Every structure is written in C-alpha cells, then in structure tokens.
Structure 1
Amino acid sequence: MPKQEAPLHQLKNYLPEGSFEGVVHYLLHYKVQLTITRERKSVLGDYRNSHLNKNHRISVNGNLNPYAFLITLLHELAHLFTFERYGHRVQAHGQEWKNEFSKVLEQFLAKQIFPADIQHTLLKTLKNPAASSCADTALLRVLYKYDKKREGVLLIESLPAGALFSIRGGRVFLKEERVRKRFKCKEIATGKIYLFSPVYEVQAVNTAN
C-alpha cells in the first residue's frame, strides 16, 4: 500500500490543536519514522520495532479525524514504549502495553485536547484499553461524530431491522435482529448470515420504486 512519510511540520494538519508538541517530543526522542497511509479497513495504525539499522516505524491512516488520529498514534507509541522496556518478552496487547497506553493517554487527557464526550469515553478506556480502537465500540461511536460525513453512509445500528444495506464491493445485506453485541445480517445473494459490529459503516439501499 502506498505510504507517504510525514514531515513533522505537516503533522499539525492531522492532529487536534494542542497536541503537536507532545507528539513531536516522542517522535524525535525515539527517532520514529512516521508514515501516513491511505485508508486501511482492517487497521487504523501499525508499529514496527527498530532492528539492525532501521528506526522504529509507525504508520497511521491519513483519513482519520484529528482525535482518532491522535488516539491511534498514541496507541502505536505505547507499543514502542513497551518494546523499549520489555522487548519481545510480553504479549503485544498485554498488561504491560495497557499500562503504557494508559500513561501516555493520561498525559494528553490532562491537556484538555479532546471534546467532552471523547474525554469522558477515554477516561473509561484508561481502566482497560482495548487491543484495537476498532474493537472499542463506545469509542468508535463517539469518534464517528467528528468524521466528515459521506452521503448515504451511516452506522448499521441506525438502520431499522429489515432494512437493506450495502458494503464496499457492492454486496447487499438484510439487517436482522441483534445478537449480543452484534447485528445478524443476511447476504441477499447467498443467503449466508454474518455478524456486524453496530458501528460498522454501510450504505443504505433505497428500495423505493
């Protein structure tokens, strides 16, 4: 996937006001090679530890809103801090990483950078950070409010039961009942059943004649 190395002065364009200096401190101190990528559906960011003659490398999706971008970058920096202390001796998202993420997140929460609703959700996150922002439904839901909206695109939880929707690639589904934390949906072409996160982005299908 094409990547663009981010000159530090351009990083301000991706971050919320008041966070740039704190972020740059870590990037320079640890000699991080930061790259900004196109949208990746499966991950929001990525970390690769330093080895041989290569520096620590972090990538973050460039389509994220500033608050999501900062949270993702801090998530990846926490991996770096964990590696510096423990190497490969601990699990990627074990308690050691959770501790590091909570500590760095607290620093930025203290700066009052985030809107009140995101701040409130992140304070809950501090107690037990999710291994991926994509897995934190409450956080995704509140961050979605600050995304640039695309016509016809909405969260699946906002559709009524029995509604049709499509996803990337044009596959069409029928929304059915909720099963625990996810929605049961039937693919129209195959009849197969899939489970969708309530905060998965979909395109509503207009069935009007």
Structure 2
Amino acid sequence: MDNGQTNGNKNSRAIIIAVCCVIAVVLVGFCFIGVLPFMAARDLFNSAVNTDISSYNVTVTAEITEVLVKTDPDSDDGNGGKVKMYTPVYEYEYNGKKYSVTGGVSSSEKKYEVGDRAEVQISADRPGMMYDPQLSFRNSFNKVQRGFSAMFAVMLIVPIILAVVIAAIIIIALRKSRAQSSCNSDSSAQHEYSDPNDDYRG
C-alpha cells in the first residue's frame, strides 16, 4: 500500500470521525434546547394543576341533573360557530342529606348527559365540596400532556433518524471512494511493472 492510499485512508477516517462528532454535537444541542425547556414547562404546569385533593376522602355516586351550556362569544369552533362550554350539575346524597353541586370544571366536550351517573369524591367535613376525577383540570392537562409528549417524541426521533441516515450515506460513500482508489492504485501498479516488449511465448 503506497503513501497516497495510506493518506487517503487516514483522510477518510478523519472525515468520518468529524461527521460523527458534528452529528453528536447537533443532537446533544437539540436535546438541551428542546428537551430541557419542555420538561421545565411540564413540571410548571404539573405544579399548577396538581392541587391538593386529600380532603376529598369519601366516594359517592352522583347523578347528573343538568348540563349548563355557556357560549364564548369571542371563540371560533372552526365551523363558523362559537365554542360551547359544558358544565354538569351533580346531585348526590350523604348522611341522609341531598346536595346539588355545579361542577368546578367546564369542558368543550360534553362529558355527561342528564341522567348519567358518576363516581365523585366529596369531603366528609364539608359534603358540599365535590371533586370529579373524570372531569378535572388534572385529567384535562394529562390528556394535553400526552398529546404534546407524543408530538415531541416524533420531533426528537426524526432528526436522530435523519442524522443516522446522513452519517451512513457519508460513510458508505467514503468507503466506496476508498475502494475505488485502491482498485485504481492496483491497476496503475500492474501497468507500471508490465513490459509490452517481453515475449514469453518461446
């Protein structure tokens, strides 16, 4: 192997290492720029919506007696109409007394119909206080969080796949180039040491 081929191999390895280092730096930078702010924002929202519900220590079955509908005049549902917010009214009995409580969370999705039943949490000390695990800020935020997490995972995976593909293409191209250079070098050596005037036919 001549010095030219040796230098070519060294240059190819150097280029491959440089490309891999650049891709690694880009991926690490992307993780720091994208992942850390996302996790910080998630923790901030978690602390905001994860209110203390330890006082809601009794489970009762409530009936939906009414669904209040409120239209936001400044909203747009995408079909030319206004967004409607639904708030259920719960009725339940505790210690022989009936309570009617309007839900503390409204939703653009109509979660309940009149006559539906729901398992809710109330406070034994203040039975008029009620918490619906199926319709709460925490539950709504968890749904949004799962959607954003899935989207963010796709945004993170796609650049990694592209980086791996680009690195593989560069490595394959360099290897083919090195193999071609080796073939050309061997061919040149054969031509160099062959004598067209030699006649071995006797």
Quickly name the TM-score band, shorter chain normalised: under 0.3
Query: What's the TM-score, normalizing by structure 2?
Result: 0.20
Query: What's the TM-score, normalizing by structure 1?
Result: 0.19
Greater percentage in helix: 2
Which of these two proteins has the greater Rg computed from alpha carbons? 2
